[in-house]
């Protein structure tokens, strides 16, 4: 159900982080790295919740370290800094351009730190800036390589799996909203419950949006078989817009004169939507084919037919302008819902197909 909590992802991340730190520590001792703790820290930093974020963390760490080390060596060798004043000048020259670079390109956010370490470290004074900088780059490189290897090989967690969970949570939040809004057309929905459900939906959609770039990164590195996920995120946004439009029309109960025509149809639509969206969320999470839309389509047709009968009855002429706008707005919002539910089914089918193909290929490789 929506909001369920599983600790499997957190436990896998803890396992990967621990292994990466231990492996890097052993490797650092074996290679005789002078300050192996830099390698260990880097491997722990690089291991992230998904392979895609680990790739980005590793690339950012390595690029920032190289840039900072190179600039730190240049400043150390070209600007004398034997006294506090000259050391302050050298520090300003080392920091200013790298700080600006980090502000413009977050990829280089560790560059200023590395430059400061090269410039101010007492060990760097003893070994010389070039030797010291090469040691730091080597240690960071070892940490990055171990962190990436562990992220990819040890119980890896793909961004596409996390995206599926986030999308399923968003669909279940949409289900809760529709259920609250259509539960009883004779009175206003629970404002507190609506607000909480909107918040849950926004959080789930924010997770989806954030994971889209991660999945794209995995696809670019051929670590994911999933199709383009942007259409999936776009469909979820459109469904949120549809449900929000329904929400605006049902902030107050529907006019009593319309209820004999719309109450039963609204109740049937509520049940059909709840069943379909619950099944759709399960299909997304498990990458199965989508459930059939027949019941929802039939309920939407029944609601449209009820609206037609309401128009033909002449009842709409007895409504105030505000009530008329709300009733017609509800009909329009539900009409927009139909093609977007069809889009959702198509997106679920695409991802289920790619999962089936990947499973078949894996069986072929192991047979």
- pLDDT per residue over 50-87, tens digit each? 777 788 888 889 999 999 999 999 998 898 877 888 88
What is the pLDDT of the chain when averaged over all its residues? 85
Rounded distance between C-alpha atoms, residue 349 and residue 171, angstroms? 15
Range scoring the smallest mean pLDDT among 113-127, 296-310, 353-367: 353-367
Q: Is 360 helix (H, G, I), strand (E, B) or coil?
A: helix
Judge residue 42's burial from the number of C-beta atoms within 10 Å of its C-beta, 0-12 exposed, 13-18 middle, 19 or more buried: buried
Report, in this order, helix, strand and coil percent for the chain, each rounded to 5. 85, 0, 15
pLDDT digit string (tens) for 193-245?
Answer: 889 999 999 999 998 988 888 787 777 766 666 778 888 899 999 999 999 99
Rounded average pLDDT over 169-195: 87
Buried b / exposed e over 239-256, threshold 16 CB at 10 Å, is: bbebbebbbebbeeebbe
Looking at the predicted structure, is the pLDDT value of residue 313 above 80? Answer: yes
Pick the range with the lowest mean pLDDT from 1-5, 163-167, 345-349, 350-354. Answer: 1-5
Does the pLDDT of residue 307 top 70, yes or no?
yes
- Write down the pLDDT at residue 123: 60
The per-residue b/e assignment along 134-167, b for 16 or more CB within 10 angstroms, e otherwise, is: ebbbbbbbbbbbbbbbbbeeeeebbbbbbbbbbb
CATH architecture, domain 159-366: Up-down Bundle (1.20)
> What pLDDT is stored for residue 126 in this prediction?
64
Query: Residue 22 above 50 pLDDT?
Result: yes
43-68 in b/e form (b: 16+ CB < 10 A) is bbbbbbbbbbbbbbbbebbbebbbbb
pLDDT of 24 reads 93
Question: What pLDDT is stored for residue 354 in this prediction?
Answer: 65
Q: What is the pTM of this model?
A: 0.69
Domain boundaries, the chain: 8-153, 159-366
Burial label for 360, CB within 10 Å (0-12, 13-18, 19+), is exposed
Angle ∠(29,34,35) on CA atoms, nearest 5: 90
């Amino acid at each position: 159900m929506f909001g369920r909590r599983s600790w499997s992802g957190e436990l896998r991340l803890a396992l990967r982080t621990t292994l990466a730190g231990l492996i890097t520590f052993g490797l650092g001792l074996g290679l005789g790295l002078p300050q192996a703790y830099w390698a260990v820290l880097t491997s722990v930093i690089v291991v992230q919740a998904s392979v895609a974020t680990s790739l980005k963390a590793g690339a950012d760490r390595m690029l920032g370290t190289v840039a900072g080390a190179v600039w730190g060596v240049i400043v150390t060798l070209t600007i004398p800094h034997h006294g506090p004043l000259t050391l302050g000048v050298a520090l300003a020259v080392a920091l200013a351009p790298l700080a600006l670079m980090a502000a413009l390109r977050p990829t280089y956010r560790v560059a200023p730190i590395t430059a400061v370490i090269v410039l101010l470290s007492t060990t760097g004074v003893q070994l010389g800036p070039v030797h010291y900088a090469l040691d730091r780059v080597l240690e960071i490189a070892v940490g990055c390589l171990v962190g990436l290897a562990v992220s990819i090989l040890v119980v890896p967690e793909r961004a596409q799996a996390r995206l599926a969970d986030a999308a399923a949570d968003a669909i279940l939040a949409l289900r809760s909203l529709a259920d609250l809004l259509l539960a009883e057309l004779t009175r206003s929905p629970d404002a507190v419950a609506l607000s909480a459900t909107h918040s849950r939906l926004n959080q789930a959609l924010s997770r989806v949006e954030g994971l889209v770039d991660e999945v794209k990164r995995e696809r670019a590195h051929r670590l994911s078989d999933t199709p383009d996920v942007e259409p999936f995120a776009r469909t979820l946004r459109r469904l949120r817009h549809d449900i929000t439009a329904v929400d605006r029309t049902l902030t107050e109960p529907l006019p009593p004169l319309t209820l004999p025509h719309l109450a039963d149809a609204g109740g049937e639509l509520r049940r059909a939507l709840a069943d379909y969206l619950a099944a759709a969320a399960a299909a997304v999470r498990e990458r199965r084919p989508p459930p059939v839309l027949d019941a929802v389509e039939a309920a939407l047709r029944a609601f449209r037919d009820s609206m037609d009968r309401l128009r033909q009855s002449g009842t709409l002429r007895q409504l105030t302008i505000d009530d008329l706008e709300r009733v017609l707005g509800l009909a329009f919002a539900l009409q927009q819902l139909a093609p977007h539910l069809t889009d959702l089914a198509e997106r679920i089918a695409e991802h289920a197909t790619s999962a089936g193909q990947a499973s078949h290929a894996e069986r072929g490789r192991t047979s």
